[in-house]
Structure formats: structure tokens, C-alpha cells
A and B are shown apart, each in its own frame.
Chain A
Amino acid sequence: MYMKALGIDIGSLTTKAVILDGDSILAANIVTSSDEAELSARAALAELLNKAGLSSSNDLYIVSTGAGGKSVSLSQQQKSVTTCLARGVHYLAPSVRMAIDMGAESSTVIKVNERGRLNDWANHDKCAAGTGIFLQQMAKLMQVSLEEMAELSLQDKSKADISSTCAVFAESEVISHVHREPPTPKADIVAGIYFSVVSRIVSLCKRVGIEKDVAAVGGVALNRGLVTILEKELGCGVLVPPNAQFVAALGAAIIAKENIEKSLGR
């Protein structure tokens, strides 16, 4: 008999896992993803069980999601990220109707209804801008760490103009800002980069129709400077739940819980 519900979100940079006990979160953890989804999932699972003080994986129902969600053998079911995000967001903040997942490889905007069901979603299939990897690349160009970049964004500054709508061209603009004589202040470049990322996201939001309350989840959502710019451009407050990175994994775990309940005839 399955007793505990577990969700694993296998992303390209990190793998997150959440285990529920009844309605509450028992434990959650995050590991760096390896090249193989199977390995990432197993590593995340092992650590999580350790954290939760559980010894074996026999009494678990596992739902997997994320980029690597399909390629794991240890889950009973696989669900798309958007479905899991809807559930997770609804659990954490039931008033949210629009959630922005700012992930490593892509940004997705979802619309959630009052029952936590997905209504609509949008993402930039073919575009790298507006994502964690893009920010990483930009940080490298400026020779700062992501943390330093985030700190710079909180400084008082004026925004450098980075007009390109494409990540590839934006890169060459950043390079020219860094190398010009005198060089554009780093804080200004960061502001320009963040604004460019936010613009991509705002256009996705407008495509699905902005509806309050708005939440931001995923690793990039922990960047306070970015979220502040996002709030300004959207024209409304943006909720960032404390466990922002775990929302999809949490949603997967909730779906697992529902499946357990179904099989018990509840």
C-alpha cells in the first residue's frame, strides 16, 4: 500500500523533490542535476528520504515532472510541468490566478483557476532570453557571479539600453557596454539586462492576459531585484512563495496524493 506522496521535478540545472505527509510538506530538497535524468532522480530521492528520516522507498507514490520527467523509471506517473505548477501554486497561494515560472531554460506563464486547474499557458519555445541560463551567460560576460549581479541590481542606477529582443544580439550589446571607453557602470548594465529579461516575461503575461494575484516561482524568482522590476512593468505586486523553487515538485507530490486517495476510494 502506498502511503506517502512524493514529487520530483527534474530540471536541466537542478532536481527538486518534495514529500508530503497528509496535507503538509514533510521534507524537500534540491540537488544539482546530472546528465542523466535517472541519476538525478535517484540522487534527489535518496537525499530526501534521508532528510525525512525514512528508510526505504516502498511506501511511496512518485510523480515526476520537469524536462527529465519522462525518462525516469522510479515514478508511477509523469505529468507536465504546467499541470504541476498549477497545483503547487494553488496549494501555496489559492488566490493566485497567474504564475510565472522563471526557470533555467525557459520561462513559462500559467493561468490557474479557482480550483487550482490549469486554464492556459504560454512560453517562448524558441527563445533563450528571459531565463536563468541567459542570466548566467550575462553574468559571465560581466565577470561577476550571479549573487554579485543580484546585489548590483539593488543599487541606485540608471538603466543601460539593451534593445535587442534576441539573446544572441543582447550578448553583443552587453559586451560593447563592458568594453567601451569609459565602461558603462556595472549596475546600469545589470539593470538593462534585467529589464530585457522582464520584457520577455511581460509579453508572455500579456499574451495570456494579466490577472491578479500574480506569483513568481522557480529559481530566478528568488532574485529580488528582478522581481522588483517585474512588479513595476506588470503594474501589480508579485508574490514569491518562500519555497519558490519547489513549486513544481510540490504540485507533483499533490497529484501523487490525489492518486493515492483515488486508489483508496476516497
Chain B
Amino acid sequence: MLKRFRVVNEAFPETPEILEHKREGNKVFGWLCTYIPEEVMHAAGILPIRITGYSKETELEDGNAYLYINNCSFSRSCFQMGIRGEYSFLDGVVGGSTCDGARRLFDLWRYYIKTPFHHVLTVPRKQTQKAHELYYDQVRQFKQHLEEFLGVQITDESLRHSIEIYNESRALLGRLYELRKRPEPPITGAETMEVLNASFRMPKELFNQWLRELLDELAETRNTHKGRARLMVVGSVMNNPEFIQSIEEQGGLVVTDELCTSTRYWSDPVVLDEGMTLLEAISKRYLNGFPCARMVPSEERFNRILGLARDFKVDGAISEIIRYCVPYAHDLPLLKDRLKAAGIPTLALDVEYGTSGSGQIQTRVQAFLEMLEAKGK
């Protein structure tokens, strides 16, 4: 069951499902950041897929030539794929004013790659009532822009339907993570990452079906995993199962994670409320969701990380921060303190996007695991 998720990831961006969607005359939009309201696009009949970079560390000459060497390798990697035409099948791109790397990626994308539809949402950094009002307005404007571009009306009915499908995805992923709470989970962190990666690279309906089947299979399986320690990986963007695998091969079982591409993506459903329009419910979920390091105050993010650590009975945390990722780098000293106070040591790794975690990283993970084992005695 896991294999087909991997097939999707290996084929990306030329996933058969994406190509088929286009062949049927439908549109595919690329989005970036957990703040972008996918349901709105989905309700318009668009297939929203997440813009990601190369699946391994690679020369980023084109990325460097536009974003310069001091923007994170994630933004450079995404841009390079874009400028080399690997995302030429996209009919639109949607981003937010989330971080410097992302916003410049979108500026350059509009200027040089010129995907037909381009939209940027202002995303507040606060979660106050006024911030919600602003974000609701932004989502409304986004919907309007979509309707103008596509020449369609996005109805409440279609929105409701999309919310259902996306909420189901979230619930299913929640169930998958529940399995990892066990002392001997039936699924590894690396395998979970394959599933997560596929979730934003294919139609959600099909993904939900596959995930349901996977959960059924996992319910029956006797194949479980045990590690020398239970770990949590925290950081920004991570799409590489090899990285998680290199940690797990040493015995560090990754039972949960806090990443743009994991829990911050799927946690929290859209909650429908009688007093709220559907768009308002959507915008509320996205702004209030598991906060990215860009949000102020950072305490909210820290609290949720501590919650995860507690629920998944984590022994240690591994922080992976891409070089030049500013928001996460600023949070790190404070986060380490909070985790330390909760009795959880942190290994801080400096990485490049796409790293498979070989050499130096393995050595440090090894040392970290030995330290955790000694501590446990």
C-alpha cells in the first residue's frame, strides 16, 4: 500500500494523476505555504498541488542567479524547477506574504516564469480578532479573483463539499499519527513522510481512498518498529524521507514531527459554525492553525510542539533548519529552552533542502542517541 505513495512522489511533477487531470481539461494550481486555503481552489474544480523543490541536494545555479546565494535552498530549488520549465503545466500559482524567501520566490516567479494566474494573499502574523477579519477579506478577494479568471461561480455547495474532503484527509492523517503514539508503531517516520508528500501531489479524493486502505492494512499488520529512542523532528520545510530514514536507521524512531509538510499542514479541521460563512470558517482554520515560526507570539507554536512531545512520549527532538531560514533560526534558542525545561534534549542540525542526511549528520545523530540512552538509564 505504501508503494503507490512512493510512486507518486518519484514521478512528481509528472505524476500520472496530475497529467490526467489536465488532459481532462481541468486546471492545476501550485501553492506554497500552509496558509493557502486549498479548499477554495478545490471548490473551483482546480487540482491544488504544493510547490516543492528537487528531491535531493543539487546544484542550484539558476536558483542562485535569481534568488542569490543567501536565500534558503528551498526557495532556490523551487525557483530553479520553475525557470527550467518543470512546472510549466501549472495554470496558476498562489502564495502568501509568509516569509522573505517565499515572497521573493513569488515576485520572481511572476516576473520571469509568468504562470497565467498569479495571486498573493496577505497573511497576518497575529491571530487576533482583527487579524481574522483581515484574513477573511483576503480569502474573499482570492475567491473573487479565481472566479474572474476561471469565469465560474464558486458556490457554497462546492465549498462545503471541498471542506468535507479536506477535513476527511485531515482526520485520516490524524488516525495515521495516532498509530505512531504506540510504543511500537506500525509505520516509520520515513514512511509517514512518503504519505504526506503524496497528499499534496494528487487529487485529495483519491488520496483519501488510498489512505483509508493503508490504515486498514496497518490495523492488521504485525510489522512494527521499535527504536533506541522516540524522536520528534521539528523544523520548516522537509520533503525528504531519506533524511528521516537516515535517523531511523540508527535506531532513532521518529514518532512525530512538526514541519510545514507534516503536522502544521494537516492538523486542525475547518470547523463549521452557524454564525459564520463557509469562507470565514476556512480563513479562520488556516490563520488559527498550528503556527509557523513566522507568527507572533512564538509561544503558541512552542506550546503545540510541547503538546506533541507529550502526546507522543518523545525522548528527544531533532531540529532541522535549512541554512538561511530566518524565522526558524530566530525561534531555535527559545524553543530549545522550552524543550529543555520539559526534559527533552534537542539536537540542532543545519541542513540544505533535499539533504539525505549522510556523513556528518549521521555522526551527530549517533552521538545524540547515545546521549539519550545514557540519560534514560
Residues of A near any B CB (own CB < 8 A): 165, 199, 202-203, 206-207, 209
CB proximity of B325 to chain A, nearest CB, Å: 20
With a cutoff of 8 Å between Cβ atoms, the chain A residues found around residue B61 in the complex are 199, 202-203, 206
CB proximity of B82 to chain A, nearest CB, Å: 14
CB proximity of B83 to chain A, nearest CB, Å: 10
With a cutoff of 8 Å between Cβ atoms, the chain A residues found around residue B62 in the complex are 206
Residue B65 interfacial (CB < 8 Å): yes
Top-7 shortest CB links A-B: A206-B65, A203-B61, A206-B61, A207-B65, A206-B62, A199-B59, A202-B61
With a cutoff of 8 Å between Cβ atoms, the chain A residues found around residue B250 in the complex are none
Chain B contacts with A in 33-81, Cβ cutoff 8 A = 59, 61-62, 64-65
* CB<8 Å pairs between A and B, sample of 15: A165-B59, A199-B59, A199-B61, A202-B61, A203-B59, A203-B61, A203-B64, A203-B65, A206-B61, A206-B62, A206-B64, A206-B65, A207-B64, A207-B65, A209-B65
**Bound form: Cα–Cα A202–B64 in Å:** 11
With a cutoff of 8 Å between Cβ atoms, the chain B residues found around residue A209 in the complex are 65
With a cutoff of 8 Å between Cβ atoms, the chain A residues found around residue B64 in the complex are 203, 206-207
Chain B's closest residue to A201 (CB) is B61
Chain A's closest residue to B65 (CB) is A206
Known contacts A207-B65, A209-B65; 13 further A-B pairs (Cβ under 8 A): A165-B59, A199-B59, A199-B61, A202-B61, A203-B59, A203-B61, A203-B64, A203-B65, A206-B61, A206-B62, A206-B64, A206-B65, A207-B64
With a cutoff of 8 Å between Cβ atoms, the chain A residues found around residue B59 in the complex are 165, 199, 203
**Bound form: Cα–Cα A209–B62 in Å:** 10
CB proximity of B356 to chain A, nearest CB, Å: 12
CB proximity of A193 to chain B, nearest CB, Å: 15
With a cutoff of 8 Å between Cβ atoms, the chain B residues found around residue A203 in the complex are 59, 61, 64-65
Chain A's closest residue to B59 (CB) is A199
**Bound form: Cα–Cα A209–B64 in Å:** 12
With a cutoff of 8 Å between Cβ atoms, the chain B residues found around residue A206 in the complex are 61-62, 64-65
With a cutoff of 8 Å between Cβ atoms, the chain B residues found around residue A165 in the complex are 59
CB proximity of B358 to chain A, nearest CB, Å: 11
With a cutoff of 8 Å between Cβ atoms, the chain B residues found around residue A199 in the complex are 59, 61
Chain B's closest residue to A208 (CB) is B65
**Bound form: Cα–Cα A203–B59 in Å:** 9
**Bound form: Cα–Cα A105–B114 in Å:** 40
CB proximity of B347 to chain A, nearest CB, Å: 24
**Bound form: Cα–Cα A203–B69 in Å:** 11
**Bound form: Cα–Cα A165–B352 in Å:** 14
CB proximity of B3 to chain A, nearest CB, Å: 28
CB proximity of B350 to chain A, nearest CB, Å: 16
Interface core residue of B59, B61, B62, B64 (most chain A CB under 10 Å):
B61
With a cutoff of 8 Å between Cβ atoms, the chain B residues found around residue A207 in the complex are 64-65
With a cutoff of 8 Å between Cβ atoms, the chain A residues found around residue B65 in the complex are 203, 206-207, 209
**Bound form: Cα–Cα A203–B64 in Å:** 8
**Bound form: Cα–Cα A154–B271 in Å:** 66
CB proximity of B176 to chain A, nearest CB, Å: 35
Interface core residue of A165, A199, A203 (most chain B CB under 10 Å):
A203
CB proximity of A30 to chain B, nearest CB, Å: 33
CB proximity of A263 to chain B, nearest CB, Å: 42
**Bound form: Cα–Cα A207–B68 in Å:** 9
**Bound form: Cα–Cα A206–B63 in Å:** 9
Chain A's closest residue to B68 (CB) is A207
CB proximity of B258 to chain A, nearest CB, Å: 30
Interface core residue of A165, A199, A206, A209 (most chain B CB under 10 Å):
A206
